[in-house]
Structure 1
Amino acid sequence: MLSIAGILNLLAAILFGTQYFYNGKRYFALLGSAFLSRSLFELTQAILGSGMPIASVSATMWQSSGAWLWLAGESGFALFVALGTRSYLRTRRETSHPAGYLATVRYGLVAVGSWALTTLLIGSTHTDLAAAMTAHFGSQWPLLTGTALAMIDAALLVYVCQKTRLDHKVFLLVSVILIIVICEITLVISARSPYSIQWCFACLMMIAAPATAAISVILEITRQYQSLALTNTDLAEQVFVDPLTKIHNRRYFDVWAQQISGKAASLKTPLSLLLIDIDFFKQVNDRHGHPFGDAVLQRVAATILQGIPQPSHFAVRLGGEEFALILPDTDETTALRVSNRLRESVRQAATEMLPAHTVASGDAVTISVGIATWLPGTALNIDRMLSDADRALYEAKDKGRNQSVLSRYRDAISTA
């Protein structure tokens, strides 16, 4: 049982250390040292009692080094918790208090050093200590010592609750653990037999304290990880997503177009780029207002997204009423077919938004598309492809708009 408790305390110490490295708050290092101290003493107790029957361990408990190790472990735990609380109060007062990432090593060495020194002293003098305690306090000295330790933990509980007001989740956890520890100490000093109910419950409490700490910190680390992932997602959306149309923006295009073009060049697969512009969009804004123009942009963007043939293709809003669609592994024939289908879909979807009388008079929302396609065997440059598609788009507008034009400059630009 002691070995299980020791391992759980060691796990709690590691988790608190992880929290310390995550946010640099010293009180996490001190709380981790509290559990480390408890772990070392409990594991030592387990090793000392590993060859003894449980009845012998209980009967000789207060005359053996195990009792002193237990008292030292609980005292060290209380001391480090008190120091951790003090560090938290100092951090709350001094917001610019440096993190000091070496603190976890320093406090850990203090815990290990205290354990080593105490174990060495107890190993050589525990018999004399027991005799001296009996001489001064009589046979009730274990009860007095345990009671004093329980009172110290109770006072520490009041101190933690009063000073922190439990405004930090970690100290709410510390308060719960202190209550469990007080119950454990009370049950240990009241147990008369290893088969008594008090002893059984004391063993459960011995495991419950570090288990509660470990589970709580694991849940908190999981929550922090999920929160960080959501924050990163939100930041990525702010950086790479157009707030009006909810599709990717020019920054996303600049980042991913280079990667996609590099992949196409390495795989020697064709790559097509569609440059899309809404025809007479300024007139739409002037006639129907900017809110209507924004709605048209949203409808066009949604229609383009719905018309993407494959998951590897992506659309972006370059700015204003201009969009781009990158189609990996797509030749110019397929790109032209995709473009014509998009033009028809946009005309139907966006024209539905116009007032009935303007539709009856022949007005419609249309797009012009310039297409540039790269084929393996020539140099690939995405910026030149964009320029190529832009020239094709202007040609589409010169021809009367609402049409798709394949670039005539592909060979000249791609091989330049």
Structure 2
Amino acid sequence: MKSTISRTEQGNRVAAASVLVAGCALTAAGFMARAIDGPVNPLLTFFLVSAAGILNLSTACLLGVQFLYNGKRYFAQFGCAFLLRGLLMFTQGVLLANQLAGGEDAVTRAPFWLWIAGETGFAGYVWLSARSYSSTCQDPHKRPGYREAARHGVTVLVVWFAVSMSLVGAGKTMSAPAIIGGANVERFAGVGLLVLYMALWLYVAALTRLSHKLFLLVWVVLSLALCEVLLSLTAPGETSYPWYVARMLALASPGVATLALMWEITRQYQSLALTNTDLVEKVFIDPLTGIYNRRYFDSRIRLVAERAQQNERPLSLLIIDVDFFKQVNDRYGHPFGDAVLQRIAATIQHCIRTPRDFAVRLGGEEFAVVLPEIDQHAALRVSDRIRESVKRAGADMLPKQAHDDGEAITISVGIATWKPGQPFIIGAMLENADQALYEAKHKGRNQSVLASMPA
């Protein structure tokens, strides 16, 4: 089975470039926002962190589906990156909500370190995903099953729980970070994260050459994360506008990934729909005439019959046979005979007036027309219209000399009509129509003969 995300296309590169331009513009706006005085409402940060956590978790689910679909480990590891970051953002959001509700007494530096841990874990899993791609990109696709997917998920849950409990449990002890060589520990950690992302950004580009849609997406996400970390490091404080813009970039990172994955999955659904349509055409369409075949008739007639009985409306069936078709083949050749069948099929289709009516080629030179909600008198009119149209079309196809000699291409039609209140047996209806067709042939052909279902 093939992945829904494979080789990079030109449109993917254009979309990636557009996202990068938008990300750079938002970063530049964040730097310019330093000149704006006044703090940002902390509720905005809480809202953006919570929304980013939800988007990270949704992206992880989409990548997990891809992993279950094709078995490539790098999908699972990239999904784990979003899952871990989303879970740590969830914990971060809970602490921010607690701080908003409790005031100064609830202030702790745990949310900052949760952000550092989440971004570091994200980078680690992205690195593992890129390494898996380089070693397994040529492996055959396989479906791993739910056990392996659950193992990846449980690992992330254990890491999230351990990190969250460690950082949340530290509480107030993290409110006054120590100093290392005169540098703030938080600043040191932030610079280290920035260097880590820059190295990973170059590593992914060099290793994958961005030839795979997934890793073009990884590269774009890393670019947005770089902008986010850079703004966070240069922000005057966690209630400033640059910090607020950095949280917007943290929201954009999983948002872009979610949109890209949903777009690819939608394209896969479209591809499956087209494939299904092709299969239906191969199964139910007659290759010579382009109309429905006997298999379609057998599957559809039962549904039509049930609907006719429920609505207590009549149902008519025409069985059509080309007169002296063997002589036409013998005289003018099989290619001409095929052209005659094609022309007759097109003529029958043209004479059908309502969408619920349908025509099929039963086999050879025999056709059938199903007319729901049509009684025998209306069916006779439809039959005569088809006969006259076929005769005119045949006159156009025959050589002029043959037409002048009185030759013609005609059809005979047998008509069976079911009326409400009568027992409905499809086999009996077909037999009655065949008997009416035989009678039309016996009477001299180029005729329509009515028959009715027995009481």
CA offset at residue 21 of structure 1?
4.5
Cα deviation digits, residues 160-186 of structure 1 (max 9, x gap): 334433333122111110111122112
CA offset at residue 40 of structure 1?
1.7
CA offset at residue 25 of structure 1?
4.2
1:216 matched to 2:278? The reply is: no
The whole-number CA distance in structure 1 between the counterparts of 2:186 and 2:202 is 24
Q: Secondary structure at the match of 2:397?
A: coil
1:355 matched to 2:402? The reply is: no
Q: Secondary structure at the match of 1:121?
A: helix
In structure 2, the CA distance between the partners of 1:161 and 1:285, relative to structure 1 (3 Å rule), is: farther
Cα deviation digits, residues 339-369 of structure 1 (max 9, x gap): 1111011111232122222222222221111
Which aligned pairs between 1:7-406 and structure 2 lie closer than 5 A? 7-50=54-97, 52=99, 64-89=109-134, 91-95=136-140, 97-125=142-170, 134-194=178-238, 198-406=242-450
The whole-number CA distance in structure 1 between the counterparts of 2:266 and 2:137 is 25
In structure 2, the CA distance between the partners of 1:270 and 1:97, relative to structure 1 (3 Å rule), is: closer
CA offset at residue 69 of structure 1?
0.3
1:367–1:402 CA contact under 8 A, matched in 2? yes
1:89–1:163 CA contact under 8 A, matched in 2? yes
Q: Secondary structure at the match of 1:180?
A: helix
1:85–1:160 CA contact under 8 A, matched in 2? yes
Q: Secondary structure at the match of 2:417?
A: strand
Q: What is the identity percentage for the equivalent residue pairs of Structure 1 and Structure 2?
A: 50
Could you tell me which amino acid in structure 1 is paired with residue 266 of structure 2? T
CA offset at residue 403 of structure 1?
0.8
2:321–2:413 CA contact under 8 A, matched in 1? yes
The whole-number CA distance in structure 2 between the counterparts of 1:393 and 1:321 is 13
- Structure 2 length normalisation: TM-score? 0.81
Q: Secondary structure at the match of 1:150?
A: helix
Q: CA RMSD in A?
A: 2.7
Q: Secondary structure at the match of 1:246?
A: coil
The whole-number CA distance in structure 2 between the counterparts of 1:89 and 1:381 is 64
Of 239-248 and 184-193, more deviation after overlay is shown by 184-193
Of 78-87 and 348-357, more deviation after overlay is shown by 78-87
1:29–1:103 CA contact under 8 A, matched in 2? no
In structure 2, the CA distance between the partners of 1:137 and 1:105, relative to structure 1 (3 Å rule), is: farther
Cα deviation digits, residues 368-414 of structure 1 (max 9, x gap): 11112222333322122222222222222222211112237x42xxx
Q: Partner residue of 2:29?
A: none
The whole-number CA distance in structure 2 between the counterparts of 1:49 and 1:259 is 60
Q: Secondary structure at the match of 1:400?
A: coil
In structure 2, the CA distance between the partners of 1:137 and 1:49, relative to structure 1 (3 Å rule), is: farther
- Structure 1 length normalisation: TM-score? 0.88
Cα deviation digits, residues 69-103 of structure 1 (max 9, x gap): 01110112122223333444454333154422233
Unmatched runs of 5 consecutive residues or more in structure 1: none
Q: Partner residue of 2:21?
A: none
1:272–1:372 CA contact under 8 A, matched in 2? yes
Of 326-335 and 236-245, more deviation after overlay is shown by 326-335
Cα deviation digits, residues 195-242 of structure 1 (max 9, x gap): 766434422311110111111112112211111111111111111111
Larger RCO, structure (CA 8 Å, separation 6 or more): 2
